[in-house]
């Protein structure tokens, strides 16, 4: 999908806040999620006699989306239609929500077993941005954002966290809709044009483009630079450390 044209994006130095996706941007928890999804769908699809689960399925149908949306998308790709169920479904239930809850249990097990640390380059960029005066937030589709940030040792860095739990509570539509990013910007009292979206998923950069954010940075962790640009990224890097020198002190607003 090619995103619609928009005015020339602002430079990183012109912005006031950085809104970070979590998994695959700040921490390599995308890999934890990928293993958890594989643990869920590899046996499930095999039992249904359809095409096996592959790593590409993660990028095509799951990456960046709210958990239940990922389940629906993956099942639809195999022609499997299940009842929706409810978020309270037991993980053993053969419903969309039941499978989503089973995946969450697999993720928690993976995180407990292996832990997680921030990407070194992302951590360096985050610290430099805070030191320069940028406001920073995490905007994640995951319901596990707080536990991941705590495990990674960076929870206290973020005064604003808009995750899957907040989105459900406040009825915010998930990525590629811009709602969660717009909500984070509003919590700082800023407009979208004053904020940077930092994403590794095509659905996430599309959310940044759809929301009219001042700058959309794509971090290529496997989605592909061309795909990230096509969906809305203004800049694509493989390591956020590459952008440290583009940061500038944020002016103090006039009173």
Active-site residues, by number, are 21, 23
| Strand, coil or helix: 246 | helix
Residue whose tokens read 């990525």? 175
Q: Answer yes or no: are the C-beta atoms of 137 and 157 closer than 8 Å.
A: no
Specify which residues 217 forms β-bridges with: 198, 235
How far is the C-alpha of 177 from the C-alpha of 183, rounded, in Å? 12
The H or E element that residue 168 is part of is helix 164-169
Q: Answer yes or no: are the C-beta atoms of 109 and 97 closer than 8 Å.
A: no
How far is the C-alpha of 24 from the C-alpha of 29, rounded, in Å? 6
Q: Is 85 left (phi over 0), alpha (psi -120 to 50) or beta?
A: left
How far is the C-alpha of 227 from the C-alpha of 201, rounded, in Å? 9
How far is the C-alpha of 33 from the C-alpha of 49, rounded, in Å? 24
Q: Give 83-121 as a DSSP string.
A: ----TT--TTSSSHHHHHHHHHHHHHHHHHHH-----HH
Instruction: Give the E-state strand segments of 43-190 in sequence order.
Output: 135-139, 160-162
Specify which residues 18 forms β-bridges with: 136, 196
């Amino acid at each position: 999908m090619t995103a619609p044209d928009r005015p020339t994006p602002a430079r990183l130095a012109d912005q006031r806040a950085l809104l970070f996706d979590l998994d695959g941007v700040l921490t390599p928890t995308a890999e934890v999620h990928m293993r958890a999804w594989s643990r869920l769908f590899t046996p499930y699809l095999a039992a249904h006699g359809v095409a096996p689960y592959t790593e590409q399925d993660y990028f095509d149908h799951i990456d960046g989306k709210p958990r239940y949306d990922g389940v629906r998308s993956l099942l639809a790709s195999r022609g499997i239609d299940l009842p929706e169920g409810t978020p309270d479904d037991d993980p053993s239930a053969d419903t969309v929500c039941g499978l989503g809850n089973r995946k969450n249990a697999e993720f928690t097990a993976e995180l407990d077993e292996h832990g997680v640390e921030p990407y070194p380059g992302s951590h360096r960029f985050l610290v430099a941005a805070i030191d320069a005066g940028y406001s920073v937030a995490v905007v994640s589709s995951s319901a596990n954002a707080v536990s991941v940030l705590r495990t990674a040792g960076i929870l206290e860095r973020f005064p604003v966290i808009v995750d899957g739990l907040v989105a459900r509570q406040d009825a915010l539509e998930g990525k590629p809709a811009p709602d969660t990013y717009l909500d984070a910007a509003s919590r700082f009292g800023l407009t979208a044009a004053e904020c940077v979206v930092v994403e590794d998923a095509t659905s996430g950069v599309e959310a940044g483009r759809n929301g009219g954010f001042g700058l959309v940075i794509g971090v290529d962790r496997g989605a592909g630079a061309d795909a990230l640009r096509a969906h809305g990224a203004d800049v694509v890097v493989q390591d956020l450390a590459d952008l440290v020198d583009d940061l500038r002190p944020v002016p103090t607003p006039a009173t």
